[in-house]
A and B are shown apart, each in its own frame.
Chain A
Amino acid sequence: MTKFRVSETMKEMMASYYLEAKNAAYNHVPVAWITSGGPVEFLHAMGVIPVYPENYAPMCSITRVSKDLIEVSEAAGYSSDLCSYARTDIGADMTQGGPILGLPKPDMLIVGTNICHTVVKWFEVHARKYNVPLFIIDMPYLHDGMTKEAINYVVGQFEAFKTFLATTLKRPFEEEKFREALFLAAQVSELWEKVLAMGKKRPSPLNSFDTFIHLAPIVTLRGTQRAVDYYTQFYNELEELTAQGFGSVPDEKIRLLWDNLPIWYKIKYLSEFFAQHKAAFVVSTYTNSWAAIQGNIDTDHALEELARAYLSPYINRDFKYRIDYLVRLIEEFSLDGIVFHSDRSCKPYSLGQYMIKEEVTKRTGKPGLIIEADMNDPRVFSDAQFETRAEAFLEGLEK
C-alpha cells in the first residue's frame, strides 16, 4: 500500500472522529448508527454523530480481531452463513471489543437499503437490544433503471426522515444546516471522483488497496468540512506525484479492476502479491460507489437530486447497467482484466458475477477472474487456493 503524506492526516482525523463519538454521551450529543449508504447529511444538519458498523467491522478485520468477534456472535446463535460485517459487529457489540472497545451506544438506528436488504435484519437485532428507534430509508433496487417512481418514493422518505429527526430530538429540523451539509457532501463526492480518476494515469499514482483505506473519511465524514479539506489535500498530493511520474505499483505492467468489497484481513498481503506481479488495481466498482452519491443543491429539487444520488451506487443497479458500466471502465481506465471477488457475505454484489463476467469478456475480450472469499471472515480465505487462481490469471495476461 502506498504511503501518502495525507495518510497521517487521515489517521488523526479518524482518531478524533472516533474520540468524539466515544465521548458523545458525556457531551450530550446524540449518536446514530447508520449504514454505509445511508443519507448522513440529515444527521449532520441536526448535530447527530453518525457511527458506521460497516466501518468498524473492517477496522476489526484489519486489526485481526474479526475472527474472534465472529466466533462470539456465532456462539450466540448467529449463523456462519450471515454477513460477516454483521457477525463482526454483533460480536463487537456483545463484548465491547475491537480497536476502540465497541461503538458508542446508539440513540437511533438509520438504514439505507441501497446496499442490501441484509442491513434491515442486522439493524433490527440492534433495535431490539437497545430499544431505540430504527428508521429505514428504502432505496429500491433499480430493476428497470432510474425511475421517477423510485425517486419520488425516496423523496417521500427523506421528508419523513426530517420529521422523524425533529420528533426524536424534540427540536425543529435545521434546513439551513442541512443545505450546508448537502453542499459539503456534494463537494466531497466530487473530490473523491477526481481522486479516483487519477487511476486513469499510466502509471497510476494510487491503486484500489489505497482507495479502500482512504475511503474511511468519505464514508464516515461525508457532509463535513474536514472531509472536503482532506480530499482536497489528497488530490493535490496525487497531482504532484503524477507530475513526478510516480506509480503506486513499481513498474506497472498490468491494469486491473477490483469488483466487490475488499478482503480486509488480507489487504496488505494482496497489495504485496499483486505489486510483485506488477499488477495495479487502478479502479474498483466498490470505491466508485461513493462518487455516485453526488447531490446537487443548486436546483429547486435538491431532495430529488439527493434521492437520485443515493439510488445510484453500482450495487443497487440492474445487471445490464453493471455490464455496460464495466465495459465503459475497461475503456476509460485502459484495463487488462477484472478480478471479481465473489464475496460469500455479500449476495447482492456477488450473485450474478459469473454471468456478468461472461458477458463483459465477450464484449471486450478482457478476461476476468473469480476469487471466492469473504470481506471480513478470515476463515474463508486460503492463501494457496488464491495464489493458484491469481497466478494462473496473471500468467494468462503476461504479454
Chain B
Amino acid sequence: MKHFAGIDVGSLTAKAVVIDENNRILGSHIMPVGQDSLAAGMNAYAQALVKAGLKKEDVAAVVSTGYSRKRFTEATMQKTEISCHARGVSVVFPKVATLIDVGGQDSKAMKIGKDGKVLDFAMNDKCAAGTGRFVDVMAHALNLTLGGLSDAALSFKEELTLSSTCTVFGESEVISLLSQGQSVPDISWAIIKSIADRLVSLVKRVGIEQDIAMSGGMAKNRALVSRLEDRIGFDIHVPGEPQIMGAFGAAVIAKGE
C-alpha cells in the first residue's frame, strides 16, 4: 500500500496529514508556526509520520500548501490552500457545493464542483476583518481563549453591535464597550456577529448552494457556526477535524499525482 502526505503551513499553525490509498488518515499533527515556518512544517510532518508509524521513505508523494507552501522544496508539488481545502472537504462531504474556510490571514468562500474542483472563490479584502486574526485579537482584548469566546458568546443576553471591522479600531471599540460596563458574553456575541456578517457577504459573492461546509480552525467555534447558519438559512457541515482539512486535501491531491 502507498502512502501520501500533505503539509499545510499557515500564518498561525502548521498542519501535516499522512493518508493511505483509501484516503484513511494514518497520522496527523498540528502545531504553532512560531518563528520558522519551514521547521514547523517539517516538525509537524515528522510527528504525523511517527503517529502513522511510517518513515519519510514510505511516502510516495507530498504536497505542501498554505502561506509557506513554497518553502517546501522537497514537496512533490505546491498547491494553494484554496484548492486543498476544497479537495479535502469534498472527500469528507462528497455533496459539498459551498465551502467556507476561515484562516489566520485570509477567509475564503468557495464554490465547488465535481471532485472538489474550485469553480469560483471570494476572499476577504486587505483588512483583517473576518479572519482568524481578527477574532484572535478580539478574544485577547476580552482575556478569553478562542473556545472561551465561543462559550461566552452563546450565553449572550443583549444584542450589541461592533461597528468597526478594522482590527485596530475593533479592539478599541471592545475596550470601550467593556469600560461602559457591557458584559463579556454580549461583547463576545457582537464580535461573532461582526465576523459572521463579513463571511456571509463573501459567501453571497460566490452564491449560496447546498451542501454547505466549513473548514479551518474557526469551524470549531460553535457560536460562529450557529450565527452563520442563521444568516445563511441552511445547516453547515463541519468535518470532525476542520483544521487539518487543508493538509488532508493536500495529501489527497498528492495521491492523484
Contacts and interface: CB of A to CB of B under 8 A. Distances in A.
A391 B80 CA distance: 7
Given A395-B80, A396-B117, A384 B125 contact: no
B125 A388 contact: no
A344 B207 CA distance: 24
Residue from B118, B119, B120 whose CB has the most chain A CB atoms within 10 Å: B120
Contacts of B205: 354, 358
Contacts of A391: 79-80
B125 to A, nearest CB: 5
A396 to B, nearest CB: 5
Contacts, number: 47
Given A392-B118, A395-B80, A396-B119, A380 B106 contact: no
B37 to A, nearest CB: 11
Nearest to B80: A392
A388 B117 contact: no
Contacts of A393: 121
Interface in A343-389: 344, 354, 358, 361, 367-368, 370, 372, 380, 382, 384-385, 388-389
Contacts of A370: 122-123
A382 B205 CA distance: 22
B82 interface: yes
Q: Shortest 3 CB-CB distances between A and B: which pairs?
A: A392-B82, A392-B80, A372-B125
Contacts of B82: 388, 392, 395
Label chain A's interface by main secondary structure: helix
Size category of the A interface is 20 to 34
B83 A392 contact: yes
B126 interface: yes
Nearest to B103: A388
B23 interface: no
Interface in B58-74: 67
B105 interface: yes
Interface residues of B, number: 19
Contacts of B121: 392-393, 396
B118 A372 contact: no
Nearest to A374: B126
A361 B205 CA distance: 12
A385 B106 contact: yes
Nearest to A380: B126
A211 interface: no
B246 to A, nearest CB: 12
A208 interface: no
B81 interface: yes
A380 B126 CA distance: 8
Given A370-B122, A395-B118, 13 more contacts: A367-B119, A368-B120, A382-B126, A385-B106, A385-B126, A388-B80, A391-B79, A391-B80, A392-B118, A393-B121, A395-B80, A396-B117, A396-B119
